[in-house]
Structure 1
């Protein structure tokens, strides 16, 4: 009860101080200027986004995408440090000095197998190649556009402090931010801004799911599958027994738990008892605390499968992420800026494109929903996906946004998101995100009390928890066989 009262007082203090600050003529003037900056650079940002869309680069292989963003930042006058945290495609672009230090995250990796033309029906651009099925070609560009708008105000003397853009690779697999955190790159940051492409525009105040990724290898003995199978010890049998165990276990976990697996190899030919098999397993739950016992149980099953098949086994941690520590104080400020901006406007052609995507994916043909919803309540078990932004949010207060870049109801991680993200629907969402993020950063730079209130909520919610990332020892898995 005391904790709830404390949080309520923090929220009330934040609301009253921010409402007073919202009437500041200087802040309102600067917000108009950062919006104008995004609009004046719209063509350059769109071009950059389309280039990254065309590169189609997956986790830790985003060489061209990373270089394009870093080069653009450098051309604007940012100081760019490339190859941070032992990751060749990770970088930091910074401008200014002193406090506050406001960070903003930018992702740019694609997903395997989702290549798609800019048309409202499934049509691979390069059959079997990757595609931006999560809209990350828009993500990094919008964040950098917002950082650039703030940089202009620091350069002119209107704002004081430091703006820092983080080029964060491998969000879809491996979770590059974990190694950036481990390298201490967020230690001096006051607040971080983040956004993600989505089917609607709103403040992002749900926690998502914590997860852990690990790989299980089974090692047996090869033999002829017909003439002397008794001389073989099948790693394939172990893998089948293991997946059977996982699937029986599903009945006995809490509704918030998710378990996925991908069989990577289980033998090469039918007439050889396989001596090697490998499976990639992912366990999720609504909190890291709930995740751990499930993770431990599923690891133990690997030993049981190995015993039954009379083979050896090995469990390798890949990485994992925390659920998001939501900051409602910062989100309330962002919500006010969304309402100030108003919804995105769409042309008849864009709405027609959206309805055709909805028809092709079996969804109601309602087009793009253009409105700003009230800020949601944060649910205890919000379910959904997972992100390494969750880990950042346990290290530094993080304010998050979702902006519309694909039609309502669109299956995410699909060709439909790739199609919309490569044309004007995605471009408009990208520009909108850049405006909303930069406006909120104006509030953070001009109102020290707001920064203190955001940090107070962060400290209250984090409590005594000591962050430790789900990251194995050693360098990032740049050349992992998981690729």
Structure 2
């Protein structure tokens, strides 16, 4: 793939680097896939990425923002180094944390590598390797001497905890960065213009008095009663909040056995809403419910704030730039064997493969799908449908998007209809399907970054759009100032 436009040398240098170093990208994504480390514990994955970047000539900080596995790596063009000026800084956002209980070999038959072990069920091994490829490709473009500036690799731990980027923003690590670019593995090739939900993640701990549940029940105070009362109260609250609010909980500790009144119980809540202020409003009511539950049960309680994140701010000029580069890339072409693997993988999702395929067709873009329902892998680029509505997941990319212009897109790395956070996703992330999507993402990210270095008007319009959307709503970190990081 060659680019035909003015000043083609930086673009073609980046694409040539990716073509020549696909094996490095592949080795990196497979190493991280095999490490399968949970959030804030991605020690091997972070060390691998930091080592590759350092050997490539980047200045590397490992352990940024108080997280041992956070990385900030930068590379400046020779002109930028010489002039010591404030040139344009383009940052790429990488992730590399795994998920629990989705360990799986790269096969369509259920084969956990480690029973109940970790696995890359969200494809973050691909995300990290793709961003690495893009950053090194842009370095190659800077080395042509035709563009000047700085490329920055942000290694962001614990996205699944919705924490890493929030802490990095709070530490001011994006204060001198102009543009942020990232992607996510998916079943689609498209830009992400939807706004992800803001969220709080909080654990409520209740403390009672244990006693024999039958012999002396009057002597005890059940912490589990408080948890159940809180959950009942919250379920009544659902009727009186915005229909787009989402509240989920799991009881993480409900006692050990029935004949002992539980002296300790814990429930873990997520509170989500389309805007940060809405999360705070609902969260305050949930706090009141917890206090009331403790009073009713005659126990005490405390609140453990795990994390919080902001909604995402889509940036129209950057979305248009990414869309153009997706189209220029031409999408992907999967082999017959790869498509057969994908079909067998998606068939495991339902007793009826036909039902799986129907779900796949809807899950890959619905009306915008460039392929029929019989095609299990998305090969073509989907058009930007202009939908700027709500995506009902959450991501800590949102906090970055509230401090600098940020863009996200997706590439097809697994079959249509394949659910995230599943063993099927782990299998695809370790297969050739994942590699194809990763290389495509690296190309698109690199080309978009070079667009920013070569087109001052694009950067100006991106910043104007950012200012327009965030005007009157200054960013405030969702994290309490006294929050203690637990690793």
TM-score by length of 2: 0.91
How many angstroms apart in 1 are the aligned matches of 2:14 and 2:183?
Answer: 17
Is 1:379 the counterpart of 2:388? The answer is yes
Is 1:220–1:234's contact at 8 Å kept on the other side of the alignment? yes
Question: How do 1:308-327 residues align onto structure 2 when only pairs under 5 Å count?
Answer: 308-327=296-315
Q: Partner of 1:128 in structure 2?
A: 116
Q: Partner of 1:25 in structure 2?
A: 6
269, 282, 288: which is aligned to 2:276?
288
Is 1:39 the counterpart of 2:41? The answer is no
Equivalent residue of 2:108, what SS?
coil
How many angstroms apart in 2 are the aligned matches of 1:121 and 1:256?
Answer: 37
How many angstroms apart in 2 are the aligned matches of 1:320 and 1:161?
Answer: 33
Is 1:59–1:174's contact at 8 Å kept on the other side of the alignment? no
Q: Partner of 2:420 in structure 1?
A: 412
Equivalent residue of 2:408, what SS?
strand
How many angstroms apart in 2 are the aligned matches of 1:69 and 1:379?
Answer: 34
87, 91, 94: which is aligned to 2:71?
91
Q: Partner of 1:444 in structure 2?
A: 452
How many angstroms apart in 2 are the aligned matches of 1:282 and 1:187?
Answer: 29
Q: Partner of 2:94 in structure 1?
A: 106
Q: Partner of 2:343 in structure 1?
A: 355
Equivalent residue of 1:205, what SS?
coil
How many angstroms apart in 1 are the aligned matches of 2:14 and 2:435?
Answer: 18
The superposition leaves residues 105-151 of structure 1 with CA deviations (integer Å, 9 ceiling, x where unpaired) of 00000011110111113221101111111100011111111010111
Equivalent residue of 1:104, what SS?
strand
Q: How many residues align?
A: 456
How many angstroms apart in 1 are the aligned matches of 2:112 and 2:243?
Answer: 36
Is 2:274–2:311's contact at 8 Å kept on the other side of the alignment? yes
Question: How do 1:467-482 residues align onto structure 2 when only pairs under 5 Å count?
Answer: 467-474=475-482, 477-479=485-487
Return the offset for 1:318: 1.8
Q: Partner of 1:367 in structure 2?
A: 376
139, 146, 149: which is aligned to 2:127?
139
The superposition leaves residues 60-81 of structure 1 with CA deviations (integer Å, 9 ceiling, x where unpaired) of 0000010011111111111101
Is 1:213–1:319's contact at 8 Å kept on the other side of the alignment? yes
Q: Which runs of 4+ in 1 moved over 6 A?
A: none
Return the offset for 1:243: 1.3
Is 1:298 the counterpart of 2:307? The answer is no
Is 1:256–1:383's contact at 8 Å kept on the other side of the alignment? no
Equivalent residue of 1:280, what SS?
strand
Return the offset for 1:476: 5.2
Question: How do 1:399-438 residues align onto structure 2 when only pairs under 5 Å count?
Answer: 399-438=407-446
Return the offset for 1:174: 4.6
Q: Structure 1: any 5+ residue segments left out of the alignment?
A: 1-21
Alpha-carbon spacing, 1:291–1:474, altered in 2? closer, same or farther (3 Å): closer
Q: Partner of 2:192 in structure 1?
A: 204
Equivalent residue of 1:172, what SS?
helix
Is 2:220–2:261's contact at 8 Å kept on the other side of the alignment? yes
Equivalent residue of 1:272, what SS?
coil
How many angstroms apart in 2 are the aligned matches of 1:23 and 1:174?
Answer: 40
Is 2:102–2:423's contact at 8 Å kept on the other side of the alignment? yes
Q: Partner of 1:216 in structure 2?
A: 204
Is 1:87–1:476's contact at 8 Å kept on the other side of the alignment? no
Is 1:70 the counterpart of 2:55? The answer is no
Is 2:162–2:396's contact at 8 Å kept on the other side of the alignment? no
Equivalent residue of 2:203, what SS?
strand
The superposition leaves residues 281-310 of structure 1 with CA deviations (integer Å, 9 ceiling, x where unpaired) of 001111112222211111111111111111
Q: Partner of 1:7 in structure 2?
A: none
Aligned-CA RMSD value: 1.4
The superposition leaves residues 247-273 of structure 1 with CA deviations (integer Å, 9 ceiling, x where unpaired) of 233233322111111211121222211
The superposition leaves residues 352-377 of structure 1 with CA deviations (integer Å, 9 ceiling, x where unpaired) of 11111111112116410211111121
Is 1:318–1:472's contact at 8 Å kept on the other side of the alignment? no
Return the offset for 1:38: 0.9
Equivalent residue of 1:248, what SS?
helix
Q: Partner of 1:15 in structure 2?
A: none
Equivalent residue of 1:61, what SS?
coil
Q: Structure 2: any 5+ residue segments left out of the alignment?
A: 81-85, 351-355, 358-373
Equivalent residue of 2:75, what SS?
strand
34, 39, 61: which is aligned to 1:54?
34
Return the offset for 1:432: 0.4
Is 1:86–1:476's contact at 8 Å kept on the other side of the alignment? no
